[in-house]
Protein backbone atom coordinates (compact mmCIF):
# COMPACT_ATOMS: atom_id res chain seq x y z
CA UNK A 1 0.00 0.00 0.00
CA UNK A 2 1.65 3.27 -1.06
CA UNK A 3 1.44 6.60 0.74
CA UNK A 4 -0.96 8.08 -1.80
CA UNK A 5 -3.45 5.26 -1.30
CA UNK A 6 -3.05 5.36 2.45
CA UNK A 7 -3.80 9.07 2.80
CA UNK A 8 -6.30 9.46 0.00
CA UNK A 9 -9.24 9.19 2.39
CA UNK A 10 -7.86 11.76 4.82
CA UNK A 11 -5.55 14.77 4.87
CA UNK A 12 -2.02 14.75 3.51
CA UNK A 13 0.61 13.00 5.59
CA UNK A 14 2.27 15.31 8.11
CA UNK A 15 5.71 16.64 7.38
CA UNK A 16 8.61 15.06 9.24
CA UNK A 17 9.47 18.28 11.11
CA UNK A 18 6.10 18.81 12.79
CA UNK A 19 4.04 16.73 15.21
CA UNK A 20 1.99 13.87 13.86
CA UNK A 21 -0.67 14.68 16.47
CA UNK A 22 -1.25 17.94 18.32
CA UNK A 23 -3.78 18.31 21.14
CA UNK A 24 -4.43 21.88 22.33
CA UNK A 25 -6.60 22.96 25.27
CA UNK A 26 -8.73 19.80 25.17
CA UNK A 27 -11.69 19.91 27.56
CA UNK A 28 -14.17 17.01 27.75
CA UNK A 29 -17.46 17.53 29.55
CA UNK A 30 -19.91 14.93 30.81
CA UNK A 31 -23.60 15.59 31.38
CA UNK A 32 -25.04 14.58 34.74
CA UNK A 33 -28.02 15.29 36.96
CA UNK A 34 -26.42 18.56 38.08
CA UNK A 35 -25.49 19.71 34.58
CA UNK A 36 -22.20 19.43 32.75
CA UNK A 37 -18.87 18.96 34.47
CA UNK A 38 -15.37 18.62 32.96
CA UNK A 39 -13.66 15.25 33.23
CA UNK A 40 -10.63 16.43 31.24
CA UNK A 41 -9.58 20.08 31.50
CA UNK A 42 -7.34 22.09 29.17
CA UNK A 43 -5.07 19.22 28.17
CA UNK A 44 -2.32 20.02 25.67
CA UNK A 45 0.42 17.81 24.23
CA UNK A 46 2.03 16.84 20.93
CA UNK A 47 3.26 13.54 19.51
CA UNK A 48 6.30 13.29 17.24
CA UNK A 49 6.76 10.75 14.47
CA UNK A 50 8.05 7.44 15.84
CA UNK A 51 7.66 8.60 19.45
CA UNK A 52 6.06 6.69 22.33
CA UNK A 53 4.15 8.96 24.67
CA UNK A 54 2.82 7.35 27.86
CA UNK A 55 -0.19 8.88 29.61
CA UNK A 56 -0.17 7.59 33.19
CA UNK A 57 -2.35 8.10 36.23
CA UNK A 58 -4.89 6.39 38.44
CA UNK A 59 -8.43 5.39 37.49
CA UNK A 60 -10.60 8.45 36.90
CA UNK A 61 -7.70 10.66 35.85
CA UNK A 62 -9.06 11.10 32.32
CA UNK A 63 -6.62 8.88 30.41
CA UNK A 64 -9.17 6.76 28.56
CA UNK A 65 -11.54 9.68 27.95
CA UNK A 66 -8.67 11.47 26.20
CA UNK A 67 -8.07 8.48 23.92
CA UNK A 68 -11.77 8.19 23.10
CA UNK A 69 -11.88 11.90 22.25
CA UNK A 70 -8.96 11.51 19.84
CA UNK A 71 -10.75 8.61 18.14
CA UNK A 72 -14.09 10.51 18.14
CA UNK A 73 -15.63 7.66 20.14
CA UNK A 74 -16.93 9.57 23.14
CA UNK A 75 -20.34 8.26 24.25
CA UNK A 76 -22.85 10.70 22.78
CA UNK A 77 -24.69 12.72 23.99
CA UNK A 78 -23.47 12.17 27.58
CA UNK A 79 -19.91 13.26 26.77
CA UNK A 80 -18.59 15.84 24.35
CA UNK A 81 -15.53 17.93 23.54
CA UNK A 82 -16.46 21.35 24.92
CA UNK A 83 -13.21 23.15 24.07
CA UNK A 84 -9.88 22.70 22.32
CA UNK A 85 -8.63 21.02 19.15
CA UNK A 86 -7.11 17.70 18.07
CA UNK A 87 -5.01 17.98 14.91
CA UNK A 88 -3.76 14.97 12.97
CA UNK A 89 -1.31 16.59 10.59
CA UNK A 90 -3.28 19.43 8.97
CA UNK A 91 -6.68 17.98 9.90
CA UNK A 92 -8.64 19.15 12.93
CA UNK A 93 -10.41 15.96 13.99
CA UNK A 94 -12.92 17.85 16.12
CA UNK A 95 -14.31 19.53 12.98
CA UNK A 96 -14.98 16.31 11.04
CA UNK A 97 -18.37 14.66 10.63
CA UNK A 98 -18.73 10.94 11.34
CA UNK A 99 -18.36 9.93 7.69
CA UNK A 100 -15.01 11.68 7.25
CA UNK A 101 -13.79 10.53 10.67
CA UNK A 102 -14.63 6.92 9.81
CA UNK A 103 -12.25 7.12 6.83
CA UNK A 104 -9.43 8.26 9.13
CA UNK A 105 -10.22 5.99 12.08
CA UNK A 106 -8.43 2.67 11.57
CA UNK A 107 -6.54 3.99 8.56
CA UNK A 108 -4.38 6.85 9.84
CA UNK A 109 -5.12 6.46 13.53
CA UNK A 110 -5.90 3.13 15.22
CA UNK A 111 -6.58 1.89 18.72
CA UNK A 112 -5.95 -1.22 20.82
CA UNK A 113 -8.39 -1.61 23.71
CA UNK A 114 -7.76 -3.18 27.11
CA UNK A 115 -10.05 -6.20 26.79
CA UNK A 116 -9.78 -7.89 23.37
CA UNK A 117 -12.66 -10.30 24.01
CA UNK A 118 -15.15 -7.43 24.24
CA UNK A 119 -13.53 -5.59 21.32
CA UNK A 120 -13.68 -8.47 18.85
CA UNK A 121 -17.00 -9.61 17.35
CA UNK A 122 -17.70 -13.08 18.83
CA UNK A 123 -19.83 -14.24 15.89
CA UNK A 124 -17.33 -13.35 13.15
CA UNK A 125 -14.13 -15.23 12.41
CA UNK A 126 -10.77 -13.56 12.94
CA UNK A 127 -10.17 -13.55 9.20
CA UNK A 128 -13.45 -11.86 8.33
CA UNK A 129 -12.89 -9.11 10.88
CA UNK A 130 -9.38 -8.43 9.55
CA UNK A 131 -10.36 -8.60 5.89
CA UNK A 132 -13.38 -6.29 6.38
CA UNK A 133 -11.18 -3.62 7.99
CA UNK A 134 -8.63 -3.77 5.19
CA UNK A 135 -11.23 -3.70 2.40
CA UNK A 136 -13.11 -0.80 3.98
CA UNK A 137 -10.06 1.49 3.87
CA UNK A 138 -8.10 0.33 0.81
CA UNK A 139 -10.57 -0.91 -1.78
CA UNK A 140 -8.24 -3.78 -2.73
CA UNK A 141 -9.55 -7.16 -3.85
CA UNK A 142 -10.66 -9.86 -1.43
CA UNK A 143 -7.63 -11.96 -2.35
CA UNK A 144 -5.27 -9.07 -1.62
CA UNK A 145 -7.08 -8.28 1.63
CA UNK A 146 -6.68 -11.89 2.70
CA UNK A 147 -2.98 -11.77 1.87
CA UNK A 148 -2.55 -8.58 3.92
CA UNK A 149 -4.50 -10.15 6.81
CA UNK A 150 -2.17 -13.17 6.86
CA UNK A 151 0.81 -10.83 6.65
CA UNK A 152 -0.50 -8.84 9.64
CA UNK A 153 -1.03 -11.96 11.77
CA UNK A 154 2.43 -13.22 10.85
CA UNK A 155 3.93 -9.85 11.82
CA UNK A 156 2.54 -10.18 15.34
CA UNK A 157 4.08 -13.67 15.61
CA UNK A 158 0.88 -15.71 15.53
CA UNK A 159 1.87 -19.22 14.42
CA UNK A 160 0.04 -20.83 11.49
CA UNK A 161 -1.46 -17.47 10.57
CA UNK A 162 -3.47 -18.72 7.58
CA UNK A 163 -5.31 -21.37 9.62
CA UNK A 164 -6.09 -18.78 12.33
CA UNK A 165 -8.26 -16.84 9.89
CA UNK A 166 -10.99 -19.47 10.30
CA UNK A 167 -10.98 -19.33 14.10
CA UNK A 168 -13.28 -17.29 16.33
CA UNK A 169 -12.16 -15.09 19.27
CA UNK A 170 -13.23 -17.60 21.93
CA UNK A 171 -10.90 -20.20 20.42
CA UNK A 172 -7.81 -18.10 21.20
CA UNK A 173 -6.04 -17.36 24.47
CA UNK A 174 -6.05 -13.86 25.95
CA UNK A 175 -2.55 -13.18 24.67
CA UNK A 176 -3.42 -14.41 21.18
CA UNK A 177 -6.57 -12.26 21.11
CA UNK A 178 -4.52 -9.21 22.03
CA UNK A 179 -2.10 -10.02 19.21
CA UNK A 180 -5.06 -10.16 16.82
CA UNK A 181 -6.12 -6.70 18.04
CA UNK A 182 -2.59 -5.40 17.41
CA UNK A 183 -2.61 -6.98 13.95
CA UNK A 184 -5.93 -5.27 13.12
CA UNK A 185 -4.65 -1.94 14.40
CA UNK A 186 -1.36 -2.11 12.48
CA UNK A 187 -2.56 -3.82 9.28
CA UNK A 188 -3.01 -0.45 7.55
CA UNK A 189 0.21 1.01 9.01
CA UNK A 190 -1.42 3.99 10.77
CA UNK A 191 0.45 7.17 11.63
CA UNK A 192 -0.75 6.98 15.25
CA UNK A 193 -1.51 3.95 17.41
CA UNK A 194 -3.35 4.41 20.71
CA UNK A 195 -2.93 1.50 23.13
CA UNK A 196 -5.29 1.83 26.11
CA UNK A 197 -4.07 -0.46 28.92
CA UNK A 198 -3.16 -3.13 26.34
CA UNK A 199 -1.38 -5.42 28.83
CA UNK A 200 -3.28 -4.90 32.11
CA UNK A 201 -5.31 -8.11 31.73
CA UNK A 202 -2.35 -10.17 30.48
CA UNK A 203 0.07 -12.43 32.30
CA UNK A 204 3.50 -10.97 32.90
CA UNK A 205 5.15 -13.20 30.29
CA UNK A 206 2.53 -12.42 27.63
CA UNK A 207 2.81 -8.74 28.61
CA UNK A 208 6.55 -8.86 27.96
CA UNK A 209 6.03 -10.42 24.55
CA UNK A 210 3.34 -7.88 23.59
CA UNK A 211 5.49 -4.91 24.65
CA UNK A 212 8.44 -6.28 22.70
CA UNK A 213 6.16 -6.82 19.71
CA UNK A 214 4.96 -3.20 19.84
CA UNK A 215 8.55 -1.98 19.94
CA UNK A 216 9.55 -4.15 16.97
CA UNK A 217 6.58 -3.04 14.86
CA UNK A 218 7.16 0.59 15.79
CA UNK A 219 10.77 0.36 14.63
CA UNK A 220 9.69 -1.23 11.34
CA UNK A 221 6.91 1.23 10.47
CA UNK A 222 7.84 4.42 12.34
CA UNK A 223 4.43 4.48 14.01
CA UNK A 224 3.81 7.04 16.77
CA UNK A 225 2.33 5.44 19.89
CA UNK A 226 0.20 6.80 22.73
CA UNK A 227 0.37 4.21 25.51
CA UNK A 228 -2.19 4.64 28.29
CA UNK A 229 -1.42 2.77 31.50
CA UNK A 230 -1.32 2.91 35.30
CA UNK A 231 1.64 0.47 35.37
CA UNK A 232 4.76 2.53 35.94
CA UNK A 233 6.94 -0.48 35.10
CA UNK A 234 5.42 -0.49 31.61
CA UNK A 235 5.98 3.28 31.40
CA UNK A 236 9.68 2.85 32.22
CA UNK A 237 9.93 0.02 29.70
CA UNK A 238 8.28 1.80 26.76
CA UNK A 239 8.08 5.59 27.03
CA UNK A 240 10.08 8.35 25.41
CA UNK A 241 7.99 11.00 27.16
CA UNK A 242 5.45 10.77 29.96
CA UNK A 243 2.32 12.74 30.92
CA UNK A 244 1.04 12.29 34.47
CA UNK A 245 -2.69 12.98 34.88
CA UNK A 246 -4.86 13.40 37.96
CA UNK A 247 -8.53 14.36 38.20
CA UNK A 248 -8.63 15.22 34.49
CA UNK A 249 -5.63 17.55 34.51
CA UNK A 250 -2.04 17.17 33.48
CA UNK A 251 0.09 17.57 36.62
CA UNK A 252 3.47 16.86 35.05
CA UNK A 253 5.11 15.94 31.77
CA UNK A 254 8.66 15.33 30.62
CA UNK A 255 11.17 12.81 29.32
CA UNK A 256 10.82 9.41 30.91
CA UNK A 257 14.20 9.59 32.67
CA UNK A 258 13.35 12.99 34.16
CA UNK A 259 9.97 11.81 35.44
CA UNK A 260 11.46 8.79 37.20
CA UNK A 261 14.66 10.42 38.48
CA UNK A 262 13.50 13.98 39.17
CA UNK A 263 9.70 14.12 39.59
CA UNK A 264 8.55 17.69 40.19
CA UNK A 265 5.22 17.20 41.99
CA UNK A 266 4.24 15.23 45.10
CA UNK A 267 1.61 13.19 43.26
CA UNK A 268 4.19 11.80 40.81
CA UNK A 269 6.54 10.99 43.68
CA UNK A 270 3.74 9.19 45.54
CA UNK A 271 2.77 7.27 42.40
CA UNK A 272 6.34 6.07 41.88
CA UNK A 273 6.79 5.20 45.56
CA UNK A 274 3.70 2.95 45.46
CA UNK A 275 5.03 0.79 42.60
CA UNK A 276 5.93 -2.73 43.84
CA UNK A 277 9.58 -3.39 43.07
CA UNK A 278 11.43 -6.67 42.99
CA UNK A 279 13.85 -7.01 45.90
CA UNK A 280 11.93 -4.69 48.25
CA UNK A 281 9.64 -7.21 49.92
CA UNK A 282 11.24 -6.74 53.32
CA UNK A 283 12.02 -9.37 55.91
CA UNK A 284 9.40 -12.06 56.48
CA UNK A 285 9.13 -14.62 59.27
CA UNK A 286 9.17 -17.64 57.00
CA UNK A 287 7.89 -20.88 58.57
CA UNK A 288 10.43 -23.69 58.45
CA UNK A 289 10.02 -26.05 55.51
CA UNK A 290 8.38 -29.31 56.54
CA UNK A 291 9.28 -32.77 55.27
CA UNK A 292 5.70 -34.01 55.63
CA UNK A 293 2.78 -31.62 54.92
CA UNK A 294 0.68 -32.94 57.80
CA UNK A 295 1.83 -31.23 61.01
CA UNK A 296 -0.83 -29.84 63.39
CA UNK A 297 0.02 -26.23 62.45
CA UNK A 298 -1.05 -26.81 58.86
CA UNK A 299 -4.25 -24.96 58.01
CA UNK A 300 -4.54 -26.47 54.52
CA UNK A 301 -2.96 -29.54 52.94
CA UNK A 302 -3.19 -30.86 49.38
CA UNK A 303 -1.82 -34.29 48.46
CA UNK A 304 -1.66 -35.49 44.86
CA UNK A 305 -4.50 -33.15 43.85
CA UNK A 306 -6.07 -33.71 40.42
CA UNK A 307 -8.90 -31.71 38.85
CA UNK A 308 -10.25 -32.69 35.44
CA UNK A 309 -13.28 -31.45 33.51
CA UNK A 310 -15.22 -33.51 31.00
CA UNK A 311 -15.87 -32.19 27.49
CA UNK A 312 -18.62 -33.53 25.27
CA UNK A 313 -18.78 -33.82 21.51
CA UNK A 314 -20.22 -35.73 18.62
CA UNK A 315 -23.83 -36.23 17.58
CA UNK A 316 -24.88 -37.75 20.92
CA UNK A 317 -22.96 -35.27 23.09
CA UNK A 318 -20.93 -37.95 24.82
CA UNK A 319 -17.83 -37.25 26.90
CA UNK A 320 -14.84 -37.72 24.60
CA UNK A 321 -12.18 -35.43 26.07
CA UNK A 322 -11.03 -34.08 29.42
CA UNK A 323 -9.31 -30.88 30.47
CA UNK A 324 -6.46 -31.83 32.81
CA UNK A 325 -6.58 -28.57 34.77
CA UNK A 326 -4.59 -29.69 37.83
CA UNK A 327 -2.26 -32.68 37.66
CA UNK A 328 -0.98 -34.22 40.89
CA UNK A 329 0.13 -31.23 42.96
CA UNK A 330 0.92 -31.27 46.71
CA UNK A 331 1.47 -28.41 49.14
CA UNK A 332 0.64 -27.19 52.63
CA UNK A 333 -0.09 -23.80 54.20
CA UNK A 334 0.62 -23.08 57.86
CA UNK A 335 -1.14 -20.63 60.15
CA UNK A 336 0.14 -17.06 59.69
CA UNK A 337 1.79 -18.06 56.40
CA UNK A 338 1.30 -16.78 52.86
CA UNK A 339 1.77 -19.28 50.06
CA UNK A 340 1.58 -17.72 46.61
CA UNK A 341 0.56 -19.63 43.49
CA UNK A 342 2.00 -18.00 40.38
CA UNK A 343 1.85 -18.79 36.69
CA UNK A 344 0.17 -17.82 33.46
CA UNK A 345 -3.55 -17.97 32.73
CA UNK A 346 -4.73 -21.55 32.33
CA UNK A 347 -2.00 -23.05 34.52
CA UNK A 348 -4.51 -24.21 37.17
CA UNK A 349 -4.12 -21.58 39.91
CA UNK A 350 -7.80 -20.65 40.25
CA UNK A 351 -8.92 -24.26 39.81
CA UNK A 352 -6.69 -25.23 42.74
CA UNK A 353 -8.32 -22.48 44.81
CA UNK A 354 -11.82 -23.66 43.88
CA UNK A 355 -10.95 -27.21 44.90
CA UNK A 356 -9.76 -25.95 48.32
CA UNK A 357 -12.99 -24.00 48.70
CA UNK A 358 -15.07 -27.07 47.81
CA UNK A 359 -16.38 -25.56 44.58
CA UNK A 360 -15.17 -28.20 42.07
CA UNK A 361 -14.84 -31.99 42.22
CA UNK A 362 -11.32 -33.38 42.62
CA UNK A 363 -9.22 -36.49 43.13
CA UNK A 364 -6.56 -36.77 45.80
CA UNK A 365 -6.68 -35.50 49.36
CA UNK A 366 -7.53 -32.08 50.75
CA UNK A 367 -7.47 -31.15 54.43
CA UNK A 368 -8.65 -27.92 56.08
CA UNK A 369 -7.82 -27.49 59.76
CA UNK A 370 -6.85 -31.17 60.01
CA UNK A 371 -10.19 -32.40 58.59
CA UNK A 372 -10.20 -34.39 55.38
CA UNK A 373 -12.83 -32.92 53.02
CA UNK A 374 -13.81 -36.26 51.52
CA UNK A 375 -16.86 -37.98 52.91
CA UNK A 376 -18.14 -35.04 54.93
CA UNK A 377 -21.88 -34.60 55.37
CA UNK A 378 -23.71 -31.39 54.57
CA UNK A 379 -23.40 -29.84 58.04
CA UNK A 380 -19.76 -30.86 58.33
CA UNK A 381 -18.97 -29.28 54.94
CA UNK A 382 -20.75 -26.11 56.03
CA UNK A 383 -18.61 -26.00 59.18
CA UNK A 384 -15.41 -26.44 57.16
CA UNK A 385 -16.44 -23.65 54.80
CA UNK A 386 -16.42 -21.26 57.76
CA UNK A 387 -12.67 -21.81 57.83
CA UNK A 388 -12.11 -20.96 54.14
CA UNK A 389 -13.10 -17.62 52.61
CA UNK A 390 -12.28 -16.02 49.24
CA UNK A 391 -11.43 -12.55 47.97
CA UNK A 392 -11.96 -12.28 44.22
CA UNK A 393 -10.35 -10.12 41.54
CA UNK A 394 -13.35 -7.91 40.77
CA UNK A 395 -14.85 -6.55 43.99
CA UNK A 396 -17.80 -4.93 42.24
CA UNK A 397 -18.88 -8.23 40.68
CA UNK A 398 -18.48 -9.89 44.11
CA UNK A 399 -20.94 -7.57 45.87
CA UNK A 400 -24.72 -7.63 45.42
CA UNK A 401 -25.55 -4.12 44.12
CA UNK A 402 -29.00 -4.23 45.76
CA UNK A 403 -27.70 -4.76 49.30
CA UNK A 404 -26.14 -2.28 51.73
CA UNK A 405 -22.51 -3.09 52.32
CA UNK A 406 -23.04 -3.54 56.06
CA UNK A 407 -25.57 -6.28 55.30
CA UNK A 408 -23.17 -7.84 52.81
CA UNK A 409 -20.44 -8.14 55.45
CA UNK A 410 -22.96 -9.49 57.98
CA UNK A 411 -24.43 -12.04 55.54
CA UNK A 412 -21.94 -14.86 56.35
CA UNK A 413 -22.78 -14.45 60.05
CA UNK A 414 -26.50 -14.79 59.25
CA UNK A 415 -25.93 -17.88 57.07
CA UNK A 416 -23.97 -19.60 59.82
CA UNK A 417 -26.31 -18.35 62.57
CA UNK A 418 -23.57 -16.63 64.55
CA UNK A 419 -24.55 -14.12 67.24
CA UNK A 420 -27.60 -11.99 67.82
CA UNK A 421 -28.49 -9.13 65.43
CA UNK A 422 -26.87 -6.68 67.84
CA UNK A 423 -23.69 -8.74 68.13
CA UNK A 424 -23.47 -9.05 64.35
CA UNK A 425 -23.77 -5.28 63.96
CA UNK A 426 -21.00 -4.77 66.50
CA UNK A 427 -18.70 -7.25 64.73
CA UNK A 428 -19.36 -5.68 61.32
CA UNK A 429 -18.72 -2.18 62.71
CA UNK A 430 -15.42 -3.37 64.18
CA UNK A 431 -14.43 -4.95 60.85
CA UNK A 432 -15.24 -1.74 58.95
CA UNK A 433 -13.00 0.24 61.24
CA UNK A 434 -10.26 -2.39 61.00
CA UNK A 435 -10.14 -2.27 57.19
CA UNK A 436 -10.07 1.54 57.15
CA UNK A 437 -13.75 2.31 56.55
CA UNK A 438 -16.10 4.30 58.77
CA UNK A 439 -19.13 2.87 60.57
CA UNK A 440 -21.51 5.32 58.86
CA UNK A 441 -20.49 3.84 55.47
CA UNK A 442 -22.23 0.57 56.39
CA UNK A 443 -25.53 2.03 55.11
CA UNK A 444 -24.22 2.73 51.61
CA UNK A 445 -24.41 0.58 48.47
CA UNK A 446 -21.43 -0.87 46.51
CA UNK A 447 -21.67 1.67 43.67
CA UNK A 448 -21.00 4.49 46.14
CA UNK A 449 -17.44 3.30 46.78
CA UNK A 450 -14.18 3.36 44.83
CA UNK A 451 -12.53 0.16 43.62
CA UNK A 452 -10.08 0.11 46.52
CA UNK A 453 -12.84 0.69 49.06
CA UNK A 454 -14.93 -2.11 47.55
CA UNK A 455 -12.00 -4.49 47.89
CA UNK A 456 -11.70 -3.49 51.56
CA UNK A 457 -15.38 -4.38 51.98
CA UNK A 458 -14.67 -7.80 50.44
CA UNK A 459 -11.77 -8.28 52.87
CA UNK A 460 -14.04 -7.37 55.79
CA UNK A 461 -16.62 -9.90 54.59
CA UNK A 462 -13.94 -12.59 54.27
CA UNK A 463 -12.86 -11.92 57.88
CA UNK A 464 -16.38 -11.92 59.31
CA UNK A 465 -16.31 -15.66 60.12
CA UNK A 466 -12.73 -15.48 61.46
CA UNK A 467 -11.50 -18.09 58.97
CA UNK A 468 -8.30 -20.05 59.17
CA UNK A 469 -7.56 -19.62 55.44
CA UNK A 470 -8.29 -16.78 53.03
CA UNK A 471 -7.87 -17.39 49.30
CA UNK A 472 -7.02 -14.13 47.51
CA UNK A 473 -7.49 -14.79 43.78
CA UNK A 474 -5.91 -11.91 41.81
CA UNK A 475 -7.31 -9.67 44.54
CA UNK A 476 -5.18 -6.60 43.71
CA UNK A 477 -4.49 -6.98 39.98
CA UNK A 478 -7.33 -4.63 38.93
CA UNK A 479 -6.33 -1.86 41.36
CA UNK A 480 -4.21 1.24 40.79
CA UNK A 481 -0.69 0.96 42.20
CA UNK A 482 -1.29 3.32 45.12
CA UNK A 483 -4.53 1.54 46.09
CA UNK A 484 -2.82 -1.81 45.55
CA UNK A 485 -0.02 -0.87 47.95
CA UNK A 486 -2.52 0.09 50.67
CA UNK A 487 -4.53 -3.14 50.25
CA UNK A 488 -1.37 -5.28 50.40
CA UNK A 489 -0.28 -3.52 53.57
CA UNK A 490 -3.74 -4.11 55.04
CA UNK A 491 -3.53 -7.84 54.25
CA UNK A 492 -0.17 -8.05 56.03
CA UNK A 493 -1.50 -6.24 59.09
CA UNK A 494 -4.60 -8.44 59.29
CA UNK A 495 -2.46 -11.57 59.03
CA UNK A 496 -0.28 -10.41 61.92
CA UNK A 497 -3.37 -9.56 63.97
CA UNK A 498 -5.54 -12.64 63.31
CA UNK A 499 -2.95 -15.29 62.37
CA UNK A 500 -4.88 -16.14 59.21
CA UNK A 501 -3.18 -18.11 56.42
CA UNK A 502 -3.31 -16.80 52.84
CA UNK A 503 -3.31 -18.64 49.53
CA UNK A 504 -2.36 -15.69 47.33
CA UNK A 505 -2.94 -16.21 43.61
CA UNK A 506 -1.34 -13.78 41.20
CA UNK A 507 0.56 -13.42 37.94
CA UNK A 508 2.30 -10.23 39.18
CA UNK A 509 5.70 -11.39 40.39
CA UNK A 510 6.59 -8.05 42.00
CA UNK A 511 3.45 -8.22 44.16
CA UNK A 512 4.13 -11.89 44.97
CA UNK A 513 7.66 -11.06 46.08
CA UNK A 514 6.27 -8.35 48.33
CA UNK A 515 3.73 -10.46 50.24
CA UNK A 516 4.84 -14.12 50.16
CA UNK A 517 6.49 -16.48 52.62
CA UNK A 518 6.65 -19.33 50.13
CA UNK A 519 5.98 -19.49 46.39
CA UNK A 520 4.73 -22.34 44.17
CA UNK A 521 5.21 -21.89 40.43
CA UNK A 522 2.53 -23.60 38.30
CA UNK A 523 2.66 -24.47 34.64
CA UNK A 524 0.01 -26.47 32.76
CA UNK A 525 -1.53 -27.88 35.93
CA UNK A 526 1.75 -28.84 37.59
CA UNK A 527 3.95 -27.25 40.23
CA UNK A 528 7.34 -26.97 38.53
CA UNK A 529 9.12 -25.28 41.45
CA UNK A 530 8.33 -24.46 45.08
CA UNK A 531 10.38 -22.84 47.83
CA UNK A 532 10.73 -19.90 50.15
CA UNK A 533 10.36 -16.44 48.70
CA UNK A 534 14.12 -15.88 48.83
CA UNK A 535 14.86 -19.23 47.17
CA UNK A 536 12.48 -18.55 44.30
CA UNK A 537 13.47 -14.93 43.66
CA UNK A 538 17.19 -15.10 44.47
CA UNK A 539 18.03 -18.50 43.01
CA UNK A 540 15.27 -19.80 40.68
CA UNK A 541 16.06 -23.28 39.41
CA UNK A 542 13.44 -23.91 36.75
CA UNK A 543 13.71 -22.14 33.36
CA UNK A 544 10.03 -21.17 33.52
CA UNK A 545 10.50 -19.52 36.92
CA UNK A 546 13.44 -17.57 35.54
CA UNK A 547 11.30 -16.55 32.58
CA UNK A 548 8.52 -15.26 34.87
CA UNK A 549 10.95 -13.17 36.90
CA UNK A 550 12.77 -11.80 33.87
CA UNK A 551 9.44 -10.73 32.36
CA UNK A 552 8.62 -8.27 35.18
CA UNK A 553 8.90 -4.68 33.89
CA UNK A 554 11.43 -2.80 35.99
CA UNK A 555 10.25 0.71 36.97
CA UNK A 556 13.59 2.22 35.97
CA UNK A 557 14.18 3.57 32.43
CA UNK A 558 17.91 2.95 32.83
CA UNK A 559 17.35 -0.81 33.13
CA UNK A 560 15.29 -1.54 30.04
CA UNK A 561 15.79 -5.10 28.86
CA UNK A 562 17.10 -5.66 25.37
CA UNK A 563 15.00 -8.72 24.56
CA UNK A 564 12.51 -11.04 26.25
CA UNK A 565 12.62 -14.85 26.47
CA UNK A 566 10.04 -16.34 24.11
CA UNK A 567 8.54 -19.78 23.68
CA UNK A 568 9.75 -21.37 20.45
CA UNK A 569 6.65 -23.57 20.20
CA UNK A 570 3.04 -23.44 21.30
CA UNK A 571 2.33 -24.68 24.84
CA UNK A 572 0.79 -28.18 24.66
CA UNK A 573 -2.95 -28.24 25.24
CA UNK A 574 -4.28 -29.47 28.61
CA UNK A 575 -7.13 -31.21 26.75
CA UNK A 576 -6.70 -34.99 26.37
CA UNK A 577 -8.81 -37.60 24.61
CA UNK A 578 -10.32 -40.28 26.84
CA UNK A 579 -7.78 -43.04 27.30
CA UNK A 580 -4.74 -40.86 26.56
CA UNK A 581 -2.07 -41.03 29.22
CA UNK A 582 -1.46 -37.74 31.05
CA UNK A 583 1.68 -36.05 29.85
CA UNK A 584 4.25 -34.05 31.73
CA UNK A 585 5.40 -30.76 30.27
CA UNK A 586 9.14 -30.33 29.86
CA UNK A 587 10.66 -26.88 29.35
CA UNK A 588 14.16 -26.72 27.93
CA UNK A 589 16.33 -23.61 27.99
CA UNK A 590 18.02 -23.65 24.57
CA UNK A 591 19.97 -20.44 25.10
CA UNK A 592 19.61 -17.02 23.59
CA UNK A 593 16.57 -16.29 25.74
CA UNK A 594 14.48 -19.05 24.15
CA UNK A 595 12.52 -21.84 25.81
CA UNK A 596 11.21 -24.95 24.07
CA UNK A 597 7.98 -26.49 25.45
CA UNK A 598 7.46 -30.20 24.82
CA UNK A 599 5.24 -32.96 26.22
CA UNK A 600 6.56 -36.30 27.37
CA UNK A 601 4.79 -39.43 28.66
CA UNK A 602 4.69 -39.60 32.45
Give the pLDDT of residue 599.
59
pLDDT of 280 reads: 60
pLDDT of residue 12: 47
Q: Rounded to an integer, what distance in angstroms lies between the CA atom of residue 450 and that of residue 483?
A: 10
**What pLDDT shows up at residue 585?**
59
Q: What is the CA radius of gyration of the chain?
A: 26
Q: What are phi and psi of 85, to 5 degrees?
A: -140, 155
Per-residue model confidence (pLDDT) at position 560: 73
- Reported as a single tens digit per residue, the pLDDT across 485-517 is 888 888 898 899 888 999 999 877 888 988 999
**In terms of Cα–Cα distance, which of 401, 398, 366, 403 is closest to 385?**
366
| Contacts by 542-550, CB closer than 8 A, 24 or more apart | 542/587, 543/587, 543/588, 543/589, 543/595, 544/587, 544/595, 545/521, 546/589, 547/205, 547/595, 548/204, 548/205, 548/342, 548/343, 548/509, 548/521, 549/278, 549/509, 550/208
In three-state secondary structure terms, 247 is coil
pLDDT score recorded for residue 569: 52
CATH classification of 3-273 is 3.40.50.300, yes or no? yes
| CA angle at 64 for the pair 255 and 230, rounded to the nearest 5° | 55
**Nearest-angstrom CA–CA distance, 410 and 435:** 15
| Residues forming a β-bridge with 249 | 246
**Three-state SS string across 104-145, please?**
HECCCEEEECCCHHHHCCCCCCHHHHHHHHHHHHHCCCHHHH
Burial class (CB in 10 A: 0-12, 13-18, 19+), 326: buried
First to last CA, the chain: 51
388, containing H or E segment: strand 388-391
| Low-confidence residues in the chain, pLDDT < 70 | 1-17, 173-175, 200-202, 279-296, 478, 561-576, 579-602
Q: In this structure, what are the phi and psi dihedrals at residue 63, rounded to the nearest 5 degrees? A: -60, -55
- β-bridge pairing 109-112 and 192-196: parallel
pTM of the full predicted structure? 0.74
What are the residue boundaries of the structural domains of the chain, listed by start? Answer: 3-273
- How far is residue 54's CA from residue 228's CA, in Å, rounded to a whole number? 6
Amino acid sequence: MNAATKHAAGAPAPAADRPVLDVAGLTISVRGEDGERPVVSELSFSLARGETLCIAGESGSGKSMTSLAIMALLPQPQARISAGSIRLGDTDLTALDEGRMRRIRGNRIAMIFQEPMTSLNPVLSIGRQLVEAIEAHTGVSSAESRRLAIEALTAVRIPEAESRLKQYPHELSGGMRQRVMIAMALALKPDVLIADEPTTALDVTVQGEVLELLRDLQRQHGTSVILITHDMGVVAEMADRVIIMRYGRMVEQGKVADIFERPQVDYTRDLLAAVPRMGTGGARQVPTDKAEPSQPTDVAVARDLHVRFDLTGGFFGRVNRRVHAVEGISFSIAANETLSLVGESGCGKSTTAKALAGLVPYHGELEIGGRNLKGLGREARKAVRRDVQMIFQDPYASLDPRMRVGDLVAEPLVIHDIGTPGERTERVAALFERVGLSVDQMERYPHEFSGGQRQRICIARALALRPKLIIADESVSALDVSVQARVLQLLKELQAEFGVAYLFISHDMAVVENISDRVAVMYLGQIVEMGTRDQIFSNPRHPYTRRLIEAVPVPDPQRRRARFARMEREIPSPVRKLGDAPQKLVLTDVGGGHLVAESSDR
